[in-house]
Every structure is written in C-alpha cells, then in structure tokens.
Amino acid sequence: MSGTATSGRAATAARPAAVQPSGRRGRTDWRAVGAFTLLIAPMLIGLGLFKYVAIGWSFLLSFSDARGTVDLGAWVGLDNYLYLLQDEAFRSSMSGIILFTIFIVPVTFGFSLAIAVLLHGMRRGRAFFRTSFLIPAAVSYVVAALIWKMSLFNGLPSGVANTIGGLFGWDVISWIAGVDPPLYWIVIITVRLWLQVGLYMILFLAGLQAIPIHLYEAAALDGASRWAQFRHITLPMLRNTSVAILMLILIGAFQAFDEFYNIFTTTTGNATAPVRPPLVVLYDTALKGQDYGVGSAGAFMLTMLIVVVTLLQGRVVGFGRKD
C-alpha cells in the first residue's frame, strides 16, 4: 500500500503544472504590427502611386483632349473612343491581332503540351531537355526579335534561313520586307514559339507529374493504348492546367508588341510595316504623336477586349470547375 501511494505521489509530482492563462493572450502586438507596416510601406506606396494612381489618371485622360501633356485637358467625353473606332489603322490592327491570336494560341498550346508529354515519358536526359527548352523563356523579347531579324531571317544570302534554303536550291528570300507572299509571319510566329513554348511546357510538366501513376497502370492492365490513356486520363486530369495556360497564351497574344515593333521598325519603317498590332499603333499615337488622350482610350479598349475574351473563354471551358 505504501509503495502504491508513493508511486502515485511521484506520478502526481511528475505531472507538469497546468498552464495558467497569462491574461496577455489575444492582445495585439503593436510592435510587430508597426514593424510589418514599416517594411511593406515602400512597396504599397510604390504600387499605389505607379500602378493604381497611374491607371486612374490614364482613365481620366481617355476622356480629355490631352495633347503634348499628361495634364487633364478639355473634357471631350467619348470622342477619343469614337475616333479610334473610326480610325482605319486602329481597326486594322485589332483585326490583325485577333487573327494572330486565333492562330498562335492553339499552336503554342499544342507544341507545349506535345513536348511536355514527350519529356514526361523520357527516362534519361529529362533534366537536360527540360532546361534546354526553358532557357529561351529567360531571353528578352527585344534581343530575340533582333537575332531573328539580323541573323536568322535577314534576307541576305549569308542569313541562316537563306543559307539552309540554298542547300535545297532555293533562291534568296526577303523574309521581312517581302509581302507577297507574307513570309514575315514565319519570322514572327517562330520567334514567339521559341520564347514561350518552354515556359508553358514546364507548367504542363508540373500538371503531368501530379497525375497518379496508378491510373496509367490500371489502364494498361485493361489493355488501353497510349492514345486512349492520353485521351481519357491525361487530358481530363490536365483540364485546369490547360485552361490556365490557354488564358496566359491568350492574354500574351493580345499584348504582343516587342517582336512586331523590333522586327519591322528599322526594316520597312514603322509607318509602312505590314503588321502593326494595337500596342504598336498606340505607342505611335501616345508616345510619338503625344496624343495621350487617344492613346489612353485605346489602351482601355484593348484591356476591355482582353477581359471580355478571357471571361468568355473561362466560361466556355469552365475554369476552376470541379468535376
């Protein structure tokens, strides 16, 4: 009995004392709040001043006659928007960028997915090829456009494209200056694919690696072919990833500027370039022509077009929907 009592007292003594509420629980640590606010204040000020204030001011400029100054001029209402809708150059640029988007979106999507599937199935050299395809995504669009224009497709016999064509007996081709046939589209599309495919390929790879391997094993045991596995397992499991990538490609296509501007500006002159997307037209209007009212109106029209098309795409394909 005494041994049992002793062991009971020892066990009781060994128990930690109950933690008493300190009375400070739930109080705000104002020193931590102040330190956090001090650290993020420069970022918030910069974000608000150079982004949101700038967007708001540009919106006001779109309703003003602001020429040669960013100060608000005479209020003109919707005249700047109506002017752009009647401007042949702007309407042509909008139709051109829509056609470019219709073509480049599925092509970029298809190449990215195909390369990702091939790399995902490789057992050796996957890291090497993955890095090789991703490196172009870190290259500046300006640098890539100049390389394409001055080296690969420069229209000279010494150019890379004409040198390769000469091996097959082709004549020297003026890739950029020639408009019949419009071979400049090959230059624009290839440089954009080279720059973007690697990035979206990595996103597809991340989605592929998240698919449970046992689904493919079960399908293989049932005798499903590789195409059947791709159609009934890979594509459905990549739906959300695919929709997100489609949105990114779509927005990037409407915002095309660097490759068009740098490929055509010094070759044919910006005024006679065969392809001028909306951002190039707005660049000439707002920065070269210093008509900031019309330029701001065009920027918001392009933004609204991107928003509407993106929302429609998300509605059609069901972005974020859980099956």
The confidence score (pLDDT) of residue 1 equals 46
pLDDT at 231 over 50: yes
Classify 79-317 by CATH class: mainly alpha
Rounded average pLDDT over 282-307: 87
pLDDT at 182 over 70: yes
Higher pLDDT among residues 27 and 4, named by residue? 27
Question: In terms of Cα–Cα distance, which of 248, 247, 250, 280 is closest to 265?
Answer: 280
pLDDT band at 224; cut points 50, 70, 90: confident
- The answer to whether 148 and 187 are in contact (CB under 8 A) is yes
What is the rounded CA–CA span in Å between residue 122 and residue 291?
54
Helix (H, G, I), strand (E, B), or coil: what is residue 67?
A: strand
Higher pLDDT among residues 264 and 113, named by residue? 113
The confidence score (pLDDT) of residue 196 equals 92
pLDDT at 267 over 50: no
- The answer to whether 191 and 145 are in contact (CB under 8 A) is yes
- Structural domain boundaries of the chain? 79-317
pLDDT at 7 over 60: no
pLDDT at 308 over 60: yes
Question: In terms of Cα–Cα distance, which of 93, 113, 303 is closest to 197?
Answer: 113
The mean of the pLDDT values for the chain is 83
Distances (CA, A) of 233 to 189, 209, 225, 228, 293: 31, 13, 11, 8, 51
pLDDT at 20 over 60: no
Q: Which long-range contacts (CB under 8 A, 24 or more apart) does 149-153 make?
A: 149/176, 149/187, 149/262, 149/263, 149/267, 152/187, 153/186, 153/187
Helix (H, G, I), strand (E, B), or coil: what is residue 137?
A: helix
DSSP class of 232? I
Rounded average pLDDT over 222-244: 88
What is the rounded CA–CA span in Å between residue 184 and residue 175?
5
Q: Please name the helix (run of DSSP H) or strand (run of DSSP E) that holds residue 74, with its range, or none.
A: strand 74-75
pLDDT at 222 over 60: yes
pLDDT at 156 over 90: no
pLDDT band at 199; cut points 50, 70, 90: very high
The confidence score (pLDDT) of residue 24 equals 52
What is the rounded CA–CA span in Å between residue 95 and residue 297?
18
Rounded average pLDDT over 296-314: 87
Number of H helices, E strands in the chain: 16, 2
Give pTM, 2 decimals: 0.78
pLDDT at 268 over 50: no
Q: What are phi and psi of 172, to 5 degrees?
A: -65, 130
Rounded average pLDDT over 76-105: 89
- The answer to whether 122 and 209 are in contact (CB under 8 A) is no
Residue 64, Ramachandran bin (φ over 0: left; ψ between -120 and 50: alpha; else beta): beta
Rounded average pLDDT over 94-111: 91
pLDDT at 223 over 80: yes
Rounded average pLDDT over 166-180: 81
